[in-house]
Amino acid sequence: MSDDLCFLLAVELRARIGRKELSPVEVTRAVLARAERLQPELNCFITLCGEEAMAQANAAERQMMAGEPLGLLHGIPFTVKDIVNTRGVRTTFGAVPYKDNVPDHDAVAVARLRAQGGILIGKTTTPEFGSKCLTDSPLFGRTRNAWSAERSSGGSSGGAAVAVAGGIAPLAVATDGGGSTRIPAACNGVVGIKQSNGVIPHSQVQDTFGNQTYVTPTTRTVADTALMLQAMAGEDASDPWSIGVPVPDYLDMAAPRGDLRGKKILFCLSPPERPVSADVAASFKTSLDRLASLGAELEEFSGEGFDIEPIWRAINHTVWRTRFEKLAADHPNDLSATFLKQLALAAEVTGVDYQQAMFDRTALFRRVQALLAHGDWLAMPTLTRTALPIDQDLFGPIEIDGRSFDSVRPHWFPWTMLFNMTGHPAISIPSGFGSDGLPIGLHLVGRFRADAELLRAAALFEAASALLGRRPS
C-alpha cells in the first residue's frame, strides 16, 4: 500500500489531502521510506531531508485538520536538483569543492513551492554544475536509470527524473541548459518541460540577459507539470525576462479537452547526417499517427541548418570558463577529467567566435518563429536512441543500432539544445518503449510563451497513449 501511495499523482494527492482523506504525514513517511530503500540501488540523492520533511509534514497536517487555507501543493513531497539553492539544506552543485555548501536562501522557484505547502524531501544528483548529459560525479558516483541498472539516467537532471520515475516523489525541480531536463525525462519515461524564457524566474543565473538555462519541473504526467508550473511561474525582480509575463490558469488550460482538429504540427525525424535508431524511428511514426488521430494536420519540415551544437558549445563553454576557471585552478584534483576538458575546450573560443554564436542564436530564433507562424507545434524525437550504457564517457563514441559515432551531444540529442538557444517551450513526454524495454520520448515544441497551449497538446497525446500505468520494476 505504501508503494501505491508513492505513485499517486500530485493532482490526486492534492485532492485527497484537501478532502482530509490523506495525511501529509502518511505521504511524506511513505516517500522517505521508499527513498531510503531505493537510494543504494538508484543513487539519485545527494542529501535526504528526513527530519526536516517530517517536521513540515506534521505542521501541514495540523493546518489541514484546523481547516486553514491550503496552498496548491499542501503536503505534497518534492525534490530539488542539487544545483538549485535551498535554504539551510546542503547544495553541492555535484562538486567536491562545494560538498559542505549550505545556502542561506532559497532560489525563487523553490521558495514558491514551499510557500504553496510543498515539502522538500531531498536534493537530487547532478554532474558537476550540470555540465553534461550523464549523471555522475567524483562526489557521489553514478546515478542509475530507473528501468535498468545497466543504463545511464541521462543528465544533467538525472537524479530528478529517476526519483520521479521510481515513485519517490511526484514532483522534482530540475534544470535545463541544453536538454538537461528533457534528456533524463526521455531516458526514464517521465515528463520534462523546458518552459519559455521568463515563465519561471531564474534567480541564480549570472547572465540574465544572455541566459539559456532554466529551472524546470519534472513530473510523471502533464497534469502534474501544469500544477508545478502554476506554483513556480510569475515575474520576479531578479529575472528581467520574467517581468510582465502573465500567469495563465495552467491547470485548466492544460486539461486534455477536445482534440487537435484545425491544428498543424510540423515534424522532422532528425537533422541531416544525424542517425536515429529503428526503435526511435518506429515510435516517432506511431506518435505522429496518434497526433493525426487526434485531428492534427501533419507536415514535414527540413532539418537542414539545425546542426546547432557548435553554436551552443561556443556560448555555453565560454560561460563555464568564465565561471569556473579559477575554481579549476584552485581544485584541479577535486574535479572530474571530463569537466576540466570542457573548460579547456572553451579556451579555443575567441570573443569574435562568441559574438558570432550570439548572432547565430538570433537567426535560429527567427527561423523557429517562421516555422511556428506556419504550424502550431513542432514534433521530433527527444533522443536518437534509448538510454546510454551506465559507463558512457561524454567524449567517447556513441553506438546507435550497432554503428559507432564519434560524439555524444550532436548524435544523441540533436534537437534539445536548439530551444535553449531560442527560448521556445519544449516538452518531452513518454511515447513508447524500445526493444530493450527502455522508455522513448516525444519532443513537442510550442510558440514562444504559449506554454499552456503546448501542455494541452501534450496532455491530449498522453491521454491517447495509454502509457500511464507502466512502472519500472
We report the CATH number of the domain holding residue 389 as 3.90.1300.10
Which residues are catalytic, by number? 81, 156, 180
In the predicted structure, residue 220 carries a pLDDT above the cut 70: yes
d(CA 217, CA 110): 11
Nearest Cα neighbor of 81 from 190, 185, 6, 173 is 173
Tell me whether residue 470 is in a domain: no
Please give the pLDDT value at position 184. Answer: 98
Decide if 66 contacts 60 (C-beta within 8 A). Answer: no
Under the banding of pLDDT at 50, 70 and 90, the label for residue 307 is confident
Under the banding of pLDDT at 50, 70 and 90, the label for residue 469 is confident
In sequence order, which ranges of 295-388 are alpha helices (DSSP H)? 309-330, 337-346, 351-374
Under the banding of pLDDT at 50, 70 and 90, the label for residue 405 is very high
Calculate the dihedral angle through the C-alpha atoms of 235, 462, 454, 381, rounding to the nearest 10 degrees.
110
Q: Indicate the burial class of 275 (C-beta count within 10 angstroms; 0-12, 13-18, 19 or more).
A: middle
Tell me whether residue 360 is in a domain: yes
Decide if 424 contacts 195 (C-beta within 8 A). Answer: no
- Lowest-pLDDT range of 293-297, 308-312, 416-420, 458-462: 308-312
Under the banding of pLDDT at 50, 70 and 90, the label for residue 110 is very high
The per-residue b/e assignment along 121-132, b for 16 or more CB within 10 angstroms, e otherwise, is bbbbbbbbbbbb
Cell matching residue 13: 494527492
The residue-averaged pLDDT of 388-392 equals 98
Under the banding of pLDDT at 50, 70 and 90, the label for residue 198 is very high
Count the neighbouring beta carbons within 10 Å of the beta carbon of residue 369: 13
Tell me whether residue 94 is in a domain: yes
d(CA 184, CA 135): 9
Under the banding of pLDDT at 50, 70 and 90, the label for residue 466 is confident
**Domain assignment of residue 330, given as a range:** 2-465
Tell me whether residue 152 is in a domain: yes
In the predicted structure, residue 51 carries a pLDDT above the cut 90: yes
Element (DSSP H or E) covering residue 123: strand 119-124
The per-residue b/e assignment along 236-264, b for 16 or more CB within 10 angstroms, e otherwise, is beebebbeebeebebbeebbbeeebeebe
Average pLDDT over the chain reads: 97
* CA 340-82-43 angle, 5° bins: 90
Calculate the dihedral angle through the C-alpha atoms of 153, 155, 156, 159, rounding to the nearest 10 degrees.
-20
Tell me whether residue 333 is in a domain: yes
Tell me whether residue 429 is in a domain: yes
Question: Roughly what angle, to the nearest 10 degrees, separates helices 10-18 and 24-42?
Answer: 160
Q: Residue 141 forms beta bridges with which residues?
A: 137
The residue-averaged pLDDT of 448-469 equals 95
Provide the domain count of the chain: 1
Tell me whether residue 472 is in a domain: no
In the predicted structure, residue 426 carries a pLDDT above the cut 70: yes
